[in-house]
Chains A and B, each alone.
Chain A
Amino acid sequence: MKRVVIIGAGLAGLSAALELAKQNIGSDLVSLQPSERAQSVLAEGGINAALDLMGEGDSVAEHCADTLRGGCGLADPAAVRSLTEAAPALVRRLRALGVPFQTEGGRLVQRNFGGQKKKRTAYAKSSTGKAVMTALIDETRKFEAEGLVCRYPHHALAELSVEAGRCAGALVRDTYTDEALLFSGPVVLASGGLNGLFPGQTTGTAQNTGDAAALAFAHGAELGNLEMLQYHPTTAAIPGKRLLVSEAARGEGGRLFVMKGGERRYFMEEIYPELGNLMPRDVVSREMARLDGQVWLDLTGLSGAVWAGRLPDLREELRHYLGLDPAKEPVPVSPGIHFFMGGILVDASHRTSIENLFAAGECACQYHGANRLGGNSLLGALYGGIAAAQSAASRAVERKGPEPVGRIPPEPETPGFPELLGGILYGGLGILRDGPGLSAALDALDALPADTLADAERRRIALGRAMLLSALARRESRGAHTRSDFPRRDDGQYRKTTVAALRNGEITISFRPIPEGGGADAT
Chain B
Amino acid sequence: MRLEILRRKSREEAPYIECHDYTPAEKSETVATALTRLNAALPDPIRWECSCLQKKCGACAMVVNGSPVLACDARLSDYKNKIRIEPLRKFLVVADLISDRSVLYENLRQLRCWLPAEAEMREGAVEIGYEASRCLQCGCCLEVCPNFDPGGVFAGMAGAVPLSRLLAELPEAERGELSALYRRHVYAGCGKSLACRNVCPAGIDVDGLLVNSNAAAVWKRLLRRKKH
Using a CB–CB distance below 8 Å, which chain A residues touch chain B?
33-34, 36-39, 41-42, 95-103, 105-106, 124-125, 127, 130-131, 134-135, 138-139, 141-142, 144-145, 151, 153-154, 176, 205-207, 238-241, 243, 317, 320-323, 413, 415-416
Which B residue sits closest to A124, measured CB to CB? B130
Which A residue sits closest to B110, measured CB to CB? A145
- Proximity string of chain B (93-129) to chain A, C-beta cutoff 8 Å, 1 when within and 0 when not: 0110010101001001100111100110111011101
CB <8 Å contact, A139 and B109: no
Partner of B57 from the list A41, A95, A96 (CB cut-off 8 Å) is: A41
B21 within 8 A of A: no
Contacts A138-B162, A205-B52; A37 near B133 (Cβ below 8 A)? no
Which A residue sits closest to B119, measured CB to CB? A98
Contacts A41-B56, A100-B121; A322 near B28 (Cβ below 8 A)? yes
CB <8 Å contact, B105 and A130: no
Contacts A98-B129, A100-B127, A322-B28; A34 near B105 (Cβ below 8 A)? yes
In the assembled complex, 22 residue pairs joining A and B whose CB atoms fall closer than 8 Å, in A order, are A33-B49, A33-B51, A34-B105, A36-B58, A95-B121, A98-B121, A98-B166, A99-B133, A100-B121, A100-B129, A106-B123, A124-B130, A138-B113, A138-B115, A138-B165, A176-B100, A206-B50, A240-B36, A241-B53, A321-B28, A323-B28, A413-B45
B54 within 8 A of A: yes
Question: Bound state CA distance, A102 and B129, in angstroms?
Answer: 11
CB <8 Å contact, A138 and B166: yes
Question: Bound state CA distance, A96 and B119, in angstroms?
Answer: 5
CB <8 Å contact, B28 and A37: no
Given contacts A127-B130, A205-B52, 20 further A-B pairs with CB under 8 A are A36-B58, A38-B57, A95-B121, A97-B119, A98-B115, A100-B129, A103-B126, A130-B133, A138-B115, A145-B112, A153-B105, A207-B51, A238-B28, A238-B54, A239-B26, A239-B36, A243-B54, A317-B54, A321-B54, A416-B40
- Proximity string of chain B (17-60) to chain A, C-beta cutoff 8 Å, 1 when within and 0 when not: 00000000011111011001000110001000111111011110
Question: Bound state CA distance, A41 and B36, in angstroms?
Answer: 23
Partner of B115 from the list A130, A139, A145, A320 (CB cut-off 8 Å) is: A139
Q: Which residues of chain A come closer than 8 Å to B166, judged between CB atoms?
A: 98, 138
CB <8 Å contact, B114 and A138: yes
B83 within 8 A of A: no
- Proximity string of chain B (192-220) to chain A, C-beta cutoff 8 Å, 1 when within and 0 when not: 00000000000000000000000000000
Which B residue sits closest to A317, measured CB to CB? B54
Question: Bound state CA distance, A96 and B56, in angstroms?
Answer: 25
CB <8 Å contact, B130 and A100: yes
B135 within 8 A of A: yes
Using a CB–CB distance below 8 Å, which chain B residues touch chain A?
26-30, 32-33, 36, 40-41, 45, 49-54, 56-59, 72-73, 75, 94-95, 98, 100, 102, 105, 108-109, 112-115, 118-119, 121-123, 125-127, 129-130, 132-137, 162, 165-166, 169
CB <8 Å contact, B114 and A141: yes
Partner of B53 from the list A100, A145, A239 (CB cut-off 8 Å) is: A239
Q: Which residues of chain B come closer than 8 Å to A105, judged between CB atoms?
A: 123
CB <8 Å contact, A206 and B53: yes
Q: Which residues of chain B come closer than 8 Å to A127, judged between CB atoms?
A: 130, 133-134
CB <8 Å contact, A176 and B109: no
Question: Bound state CA distance, A92 and B122, in angstroms?
Answer: 15
Which B residue sits closest to A241, measured CB to CB? B53
Partner of A42 from the list B33, B56, B72, B169 (CB cut-off 8 Å) is: B56
Q: Which residues of chain A come closer than 8 Å to B126, judged between CB atoms?
A: 100-103
Question: Bound state CA distance, A124 and B98, in angstroms?
Answer: 32
Q: Which residues of chain B come closer than 8 Å to A99, judged between CB atoms?
A: 129, 133
Question: Bound state CA distance, A206 and B119, in angstroms?
Answer: 34
Q: How far is the CB of A404 from chain B (nearest CB, A)?
A: 18
Question: Bound state CA distance, A56 and B158, in angstroms?
Answer: 42
Q: Which residues of chain A come closer than 8 Å to B130, judged between CB atoms?
A: 100, 124-125, 127, 131
Question: Bound state CA distance, A413 and B50, in angstroms?
Answer: 17
Q: Which residues of chain A come closer than 8 Å to B73, judged between CB atoms?
A: 320
Q: Which residues of chain A come closer than 8 Å to B40, judged between CB atoms?
A: 415-416
CB <8 Å contact, A239 and B129: no
Q: How far is the CB of B23 from chain A (nearest CB, A)?
A: 15
Question: Bound state CA distance, A402 and B213, in angstroms?
Answer: 40
Q: How far is the CB of B137 from chain A (nearest CB, A)?
A: 5
Partner of B30 from the list A124, A125, A144, A239 (CB cut-off 8 Å) is: A239
Question: Bound state CA distance, A38 and B100, in angstroms?
Answer: 17
CB <8 Å contact, B28 and A142: no
Q: Which residues of chain A come closer than 8 Å to B137, judged between CB atoms?
A: 34, 36
Question: Bound state CA distance, A193 and B167, in angstroms?
Answer: 35
9 nearest A-B pairs in the assembled complex, by CB-CB distance? A98-B119, A100-B129, A239-B33, A142-B114, A100-B130, A134-B133, A37-B57, A37-B51, A98-B169
Contacts A138-B166, A176-B94; A37 near B58 (Cβ below 8 A)? yes
Partner of A135 from the list B29, B30, B72, B133 (CB cut-off 8 Å) is: B133
Which A residue sits closest to B162, measured CB to CB? A138
Q: How far is the CB of B52 from chain A (nearest CB, A)?
A: 5
